[in-house]
Structure 1
Amino acid sequence: MTPRITRLAAAFAAVMALAQGTAPAQQAGAPGAAPTETPAAAPALLTLDDVRTGRLMLRTDEPGKYVPAPLVSTKIDMQITGTVARATVTQRFTNPTEEWVEGIYAFPLPEDSAVDTLRMRIGDRFIEGEIKERQEAKEIYEAAKAEGKKAALVEQERPNLFTNSVANIGPGEVIVTQIAFQQSLAPKDGRWEVRMPLVVAPRYNPSPVVQVVEFLQDGWGVTDPVPDRDRIEPPVADPRAEPAGQMRNPVQIDIDLAPGFDIATLESPSHEITVAEPGPGRARIALAGPAPADRDFLLRWAGSGAEPQAALFAEEKDGQAHMLLMLTAPELGEARPVRPREVIFVQDVSGSMSGESIEQAREGLEMAVKRLRPEDAFNIVIFNDQFAVFHDAPVPASPENIAAAVTAVRALEAEGGTEMLPALDYALSGAPAGDRLRQVIFLTDGAVGNEAQMLALIDEKLGETRLFTVGIGSAPNSYFMSRAAEKGRGAHVYIGDLSEVAERMTALFTKIETPAITDLELRLPEGVTAEVLPSPLPDLYAGEPLAVALRGPEIAGEAVLSGMRGAQPWQVRLPLDRAAERAGVAKLYARRRIASLEALRLSPAVEVSGMERLDREILDTALGYGLVSRLTSLVAVDVTPSRPRGTGLASAEVPLNLPKGWDPEAFLFETPEAAPQLDRAMLQRIAPQRTQAEAEAAGAPVPKGALNWRQSLLLGLLLMVTGLFTLVVTRLRRVRRPQVRAITVTAADSGRA
């Protein structure tokens, strides 16, 4: 048994030894290994003996031959005015080789950012990008690349993950691209903040596991939970191999902050900053020096007095009024216990949580368990490649049970892949006993690629449960974390450092233990017709912001936002005539509309025809407002060819940094095969197993696993042969052909992080 498996077994065993029974873990997959460096073919290749200076070399198809990776540096300039932030991201692509190259760089942005501008600078010239349908933009870019023209293409892979491709960078040449976006901000828990993600954390992408056989029809088919896995698996540079003193993917940040009130506190818990104050209510913030793009940048500020709890901005476009309403729930008094709760803690212990993240998670989970009241009930679900539970069913929060749980939590270690789906499915299944309020608290970094599958599951299984997410680590998947909490009608917090655990978890507990404002409804003035997003409005927790976008031919008068706080009615009046004019509001509305339509696509009730209709609406909105989306891209092309005819072009992805705090020893393997596996025998040593029939009889939901894929595959093939034989015999007997049902064969491929 390897040391890695031994440590994981101990962590699971610490939980299971305290349990009276367990639910069987489900669906094995490969542990989380980092993406290996993507091979890049080049017209002129180097051997390691040719390398004289420290540089990252990418393997090629020819054994023993390499090409230097393109280099990228980033400069971010941001202007924050009130509740709107406008940022320009300048990326400098440097070609360190003597050949012509194409650089491909994956980079993150805030999940609600509206990306609308692309400029490519060549010498003293700027070339403006255009928004096109995604396939059309790709064809324009590929044609320009083939013709030797410099070109840039910005594509959205996820709402918070983009790729920038730059073609035909000459030997030793530098090409500069600028991408601009804007986002809305709102105070949360009494302070304002802007979070700028700087690194794309490697993600675990579950492998295709379901194969369907339909006789005389389509043959074999594969269901892939991450159909675009090749788009979201950029190579990762191993920090242990970096030359001393070298900074990979450096970033500079400058922010001009004008919040509209005097600033009392200003801090960055993530980076060292410098602050200049040119005048009252204004500050200029910068990083103290270039920093590696290995963690999110976070800036927080607060005023010296009571800031307005609501803001309203407007912009007219194409004869339509667009409005953005920002409202922060007022303090509703001290937190007081709600009715008895059933709390299910779901803890990620996968490889991406190794290092500092698992320390934060252990401390946060222990704090959460200790805060339970005697009348509450709880359970703990831990997962990596598989999942296990603390007890078959939630247990009372007695001192004995809490002490046992704390002991188990302190033994947790992080290893393996990130099979979230079965664990979350288990947590969302079942109903609470009596009149308990059921809450699921999900602690993870969200480093998965099958976000759509996870969000669809929440839509399907949530019921009356409330889902709260805790983003752990230096580079959490903020898109998944925030959308999961939104769909789960809960709230989310981020913990980026051990020093923040107590503060951030206390903020979350305050929300969980305070009655939310539910059944929110925005009543518009009589005679006013407008689209309201999101729809329906989410529950509103104390200290949480609410953002509402509106569009209509004419919006004026007084609107009323109402809801219920427990059994008491609650409302606030909003004078729409007092909206301040602000450029960019229409684009922020469009971004929210696209997000709303994308969420509808994940609904289990939407069929293929409905998805096609929603896609048309998404495309029309993105083109009409000039935004990058899943279906649109920005492309910029120089009209003059620069690469000489007959000269080859090498293509290489720019390797990303490993996020700060991630343990390279646990996460990076020399080859995917080096990642240890957790087989069925290992699973049986970790947790006592029950048969599926016994588990179902006990009322425990049992997601169908893939641990016996070889037997299932052989059975499927046998059934296929039997079916074909039966078909031949029946035809020979001139008997009417019977209807043959599809046979589903489950197979588990090896996934990789």
Structure 2
Amino acid sequence: MPSGKTKLSLICVLLFAVIQTFGAPTDTQQSLVVSTTVPSSDKSEKENALEDVPSEPQIYQMHIQSNIGNRFANTTVTSKVKNLAQKAQEATFSVVLPETAFISGFIMEVDGKNYTAYVKEKEEAKREYEQAVSSGLGAAHVAVSARDSNRFTVSVNVEPETKAAFYLWYEELLQRQDGHYEQVINIHPGQPVKDLHVEVSIKESRKIKDLKVPPLRSGNEIGKDTPDLDPRADIETINDKTAIVRFIPNVERQKQFAHLLGTKENEGLAGQFIVQYDVERDAHGGEILIQDGYFVHFFAPSELAPLPKYVVFVLDTSSSMHGQKIVQLKEAMHKILEQLNENDAFSLVEFNTNVKVWDLNNADSSVWYPVENDGYLYGRDEDEKPFTNFNFPNAYIATTDNINKAKTTISKFSPSAATDIYTALKVGLHLVEIAENHKVDSIERQPLVVFLTDGDPTVRLTSREEITNKISEYNIGLRKSPIFALSFGFGADKDFLQKLALRNSGFSKHIYEAADAALQLQDFYKQISSPLLADVTFKYEPSVTSLTKTKFPIHFGGSELVVSGRCGVIDDFTPPVVDARSNKGRISLRPQAIERSISNIERLWAYLTIKQLLDKKEIADDDVKEIKKQALELALEYSFVTSLSSLVVVKPNATSAVDTEEAEGEGYPGGIGRAKKRVIKKKKMSSMKGDAISSASGIHYSSGYQHGGRIAFASTYAGAPTSFDFPDSFDPPGLQGPKGESGDSIVAAIPSVSSSPAHNNLLTILPWLKNILNENEMLSLPSGTYKLGLNETFSDVVSCPKTPLNSTGHCTLLHSCPQVHSLLTSADVFIQHFCVLKNEYAGVCCPDNS
């Protein structure tokens, strides 16, 4: 392989970044990172002539296409770059993912060929990496948890006057909060882009309402909407159930947004594009959608009065809460107390080395436990005193007077001493028990424990596992009060608090130590401030199988419960009964409408099942191996990257590898903040042949307090022609990893071009295809048989009259128009929009903007 002919050498690398904060890109870590040699001050004529050539590869196109079908979003990020310089330059394709998303595919296009990633079991990927290294191949696999970050990064060395293209897919079920769904798309290419195009296509089975696009956000703070950041997005209403939102800022507009968002104009737009909407719904039993033997049940009843609640606030005032933290806690609690309803009740618990239950009427009568009247002293012989020895204050009704007294009390909080988490939680749960046995009035209230800490347990019981087990056991003896855990700042153990909350029917949330921490706390409380139903159980007929979670301790107003499973045909499906406790006692609700879905319910079911299995794995005492096995098999079958699976690309002839050091920091989706400097060390490896360059690095990927995953790449490039162009119509399909009979993935190198992953994924996205695909892999349609053309790209423009969005368009191959996949719900629908290319290929009428 003569090096003089090499036009594109790839460095396919996993770059690790443990990023807890996501703000605008910093100087040390940008969305596009370029490494070049600084030119000498003595310039030749040629160098002077090339002075205006950009010093970094230019992104000439970035398209983000998100297709939402029944709240399930499939998003494709496409980025194309070109090196205009006369020397090689390194660029980095970097995407910040939503915290609940699973990566489902990645493709690089090199020299007109697709290098396709596929999913395999994590340990198997590690073994393959070790084998590749011992054979002299460039490979990458780094064992690191990525739960606190969701940044995907791959570096590419772009040779002079050549191009590279990247395609990333991720999927997520949109969560309903505060009465609407919100699709968040992070945009941060690292430079202004001439062709920047964001499109969100929404197709729902119910009428869409309240569709809007709020001003852009920086992603690193909560603030008021700024009119100057209005994206002026184009909202096209196709019909009452279908809409398309487009955001196409030109270069000048991108620079204006960058300035307003506080980043450098030459680094381009770095912010979040938001689409919000809701749907009309059954006010009682919810809606059920069925497709190809799978169903999903969306349940968000309205017209229900909130349950009265009893909130026990358990607040950390240990020494580490000093300074801004305690100020923000006080500010947030003042606002939260004002949101209590008149029939609610509450208690105020402060803890550090000991625990104090406040008497709002007489501060001197407040009760310390277990060491009386002392928040600092720690005596081992004083531990675990019987609660019967202490006369704790009763709950307080949320009157204006009591709320004002609580504000005054909180204003006097002063941080000191250590952190006794176990005792604080046990006291909080004991107060729930007191309220159950000695009601302050005749009203039955739903108990909630809101627990906030910024540190680790440091006194008395300090084993996190023991704390989780003992508190969970104690809580079972009560009426199972949900515990909502808030980790505050950098020092808190988020994994511990996540497990604690999940074991106790709640959830955890991290509050970032930033200027808007008080607003973060208020936003969290808003999510749980209005419980509508308790002890919610979905009851289905025995013929319904493979159900996701069917029992929920609480349903909060503005949110949504989702259940999915396998079922028969729509005509044989019996609606379930939803039993729950409301403010009027026990009620039973039954959905009135069962409809055919307009999206892929099977993938939604798989996504939801994997998420819940991974949560179950975190809190299970037994059968952990079986739970992991089930989650892994589904992840491999549906090509989802999770904490149990890896995404791998293998190409031959590597000569070097790169190790990375984990970066740490914290922030918000949309960029990077306060991250440690990334360290990259290159190791020379034995060369098998040639002088191609390859390396390895890591990515960070996660799903909030859910579960992250990692992706491993091994790659080289053997040679390329002097120049090439990518067809503008190139839009590769999604991915499906190869599997063995047992469900484990096959250990094998994928050829540079392989139609199998694309073919399998198209059948996964469009399962009805297999019903009209004959043994020769041809589509059998009423008008004849046609090829799928998975490895073909056509540049001819053939007009067609009707796309699935009821607009005119152009005929293109099925895999080249992913934005209509969610709308093609059956062969009958496809036939309505079918067209023919070159007299032998099956096409679909695709919108002209694709």
TM-score category (smaller protein): 0.5 to 0.7
1:308 CA displacement? 5.2
Name 1:254's counterpart in structure 2. Answer: 198
Name 1:267's counterpart in structure 2. Answer: 213
| Distance in 1 separating the partners of 2:200 and 2:329 | 34
Name 2:757's counterpart in structure 1. Answer: none
Change (3 A) 1:655 1:160: closer
1:275 CA displacement? 0.6
Q: Deviations over 1:405-462 (max 9, x none)?
A: 33136x789xx99x896697567654432426542224589999x9999987875564
1:596 CA displacement? 2.6
| Distance in 2 separating the partners of 1:401 and 1:158 | 43
Name 1:110's counterpart in structure 2. Answer: 99
Change (3 A) 1:308 1:376: closer
Superposed counterparts of 1:136-535, under 5 Å: 136-141=124-129, 157-158=145-146, 161=149, 164=152, 166=154, 169=157, 176-195=165-184, 254-258=198-202, 260=204, 261=207, 263-268=209-214, 271=217, 272=229, 273-280=231-238, 281-286=242-247, 289=254, 297=272, 299-302=274-277, 306-307=280-281, 310-316=286-292, 321-333=293-305, 335=306, 337-338=308-309, 341-345=311-315, 361-370=329-338, 376-381=345-350, 392=368, 395=393, 397=396, 398=402, 401-408=405-412, 425=425, 430-432=430-432, 433-435=434-436, 438-442=447-451, 459=472, 462-463=475-476, 464-468=480-484, 488-490=504-506, 505=522, 508=525, 511-512=528-529, 514=531, 516-525=532-541, 528-535=543-550
| Distance in 1 separating the partners of 2:80 and 2:451 | 38
1:550 CA displacement? 0.9
| Distance in 2 separating the partners of 1:568 and 1:581 | 36
Q: Deviations over 1:177-234 (max 9, x none)?
A: 43312222354332221245789xxxxxxxxxxxxxxxxxxxxxxxxxxxxxxxxxxx
Superposed counterparts of 1:690-729, under 5 Å: none
1:332 CA displacement? 0.9
Helix, strand or coil: the match of 2:543? Answer: coil
Q: Quick check: 1:533–1:593 contact (8 Å CA) kept in 2?
A: yes
Q: Does 1:632 align with 2:648?
A: no
Q: Which moved more, 1:136-145 or 1:124-133?
A: 136-145
| Distance in 1 separating the partners of 2:332 and 2:202 | 34
Q: Quick check: 2:549–2:612 contact (8 Å CA) kept in 1?
A: yes
Q: Quick check: 1:103–1:652 contact (8 Å CA) kept in 2?
A: no
Name 1:219's counterpart in structure 2. Answer: none
| Distance in 2 separating the partners of 1:71 and 1:141 | 32
Q: Quick check: 1:467–1:489 contact (8 Å CA) kept in 2?
A: yes
| Distance in 2 separating the partners of 1:257 and 1:479 | 35
| Distance in 2 separating the partners of 1:91 and 1:421 | 47
Name 1:240's counterpart in structure 2. Answer: none
Greater C-alpha Rg: 2
Count the aligned residue pairs.
Answer: 544
Question: Which residue of 545, 550, 573 corresponds with 1:556?
Answer: 573
Q: Deviations over 1:300-323 (max 9, x none)?
A: 5346x945564433343xxxx222
Relative contact order (C-alpha < 8 Å, sep 6+): which is higher?
1
1:545 CA displacement? 0.3
Q: Deviations over 1:378-414 (max 9, x none)?
A: 234478xx898675367565467514333136x789x
Superposed counterparts of 1:571-720, under 5 Å: 571-574=588-591, 577-583=594-600, 585-603=601-619, 605-606=621-622, 610-639=623-652, 641=653, 645=655, 648-652=656-660, 659=667
1:276 CA displacement? 0.6
Name 1:568's counterpart in structure 2. Answer: 585
1:546 CA displacement? 0.4
Q: Does 1:120 align with 2:108?
A: yes
Helix, strand or coil: the match of 1:635? Answer: strand
Helix, strand or coil: the match of 1:115? Answer: strand
| Distance in 2 separating the partners of 1:328 and 1:158 | 32
Q: Quick check: 1:153–1:164 contact (8 Å CA) kept in 2?
A: no
CA RMSD of aligned residues (A): 6.2
Q: Quick check: 1:531–1:551 contact (8 Å CA) kept in 2?
A: yes
| Distance in 1 separating the partners of 2:132 and 2:314 | 54
Could you tell me the TM-score, scaled by structure 2's length? 0.50
Q: Gaps (5+ residues) in structure 1? A: 1-31, 40-44, 53-67, 200-244, 672-753
Helix, strand or coil: the match of 1:602? Answer: helix
| Distance in 2 separating the partners of 1:536 and 1:191 | 23
| Distance in 1 separating the partners of 2:624 and 2:474 | 21
Q: Quick check: 1:105–1:654 contact (8 Å CA) kept in 2?
A: no
Q: Which moved more, 1:116-125 or 1:434-443?
A: 434-443
The amino acid of 1:379's aligned partner reads L
The amino acid of 1:632's aligned partner reads S
Change (3 A) 1:500 1:602: closer
Q: Which moved more, 1:597-606 or 1:79-88?
A: 597-606
1:363 CA displacement? 2.9
Helix, strand or coil: the match of 1:109? Answer: coil
Helix, strand or coil: the match of 1:540? Answer: strand
Q: Quick check: 1:69–1:653 contact (8 Å CA) kept in 2?
A: no
The amino acid of 1:636's aligned partner reads V
| Distance in 2 separating the partners of 1:559 and 1:69 | 59
Q: Quick check: 1:362–1:412 contact (8 Å CA) kept in 2?
A: no
1:504 CA displacement? 8.7
Q: Percent same amino acid at aligned positions? A: 14
1:132 CA displacement? 1.2
The amino acid of 2:642's aligned partner reads S
Helix, strand or coil: the match of 2:576? Answer: strand
Q: Deviations over 1:254-285 (max 9, x none)?
A: 23142544554513365233311233452424
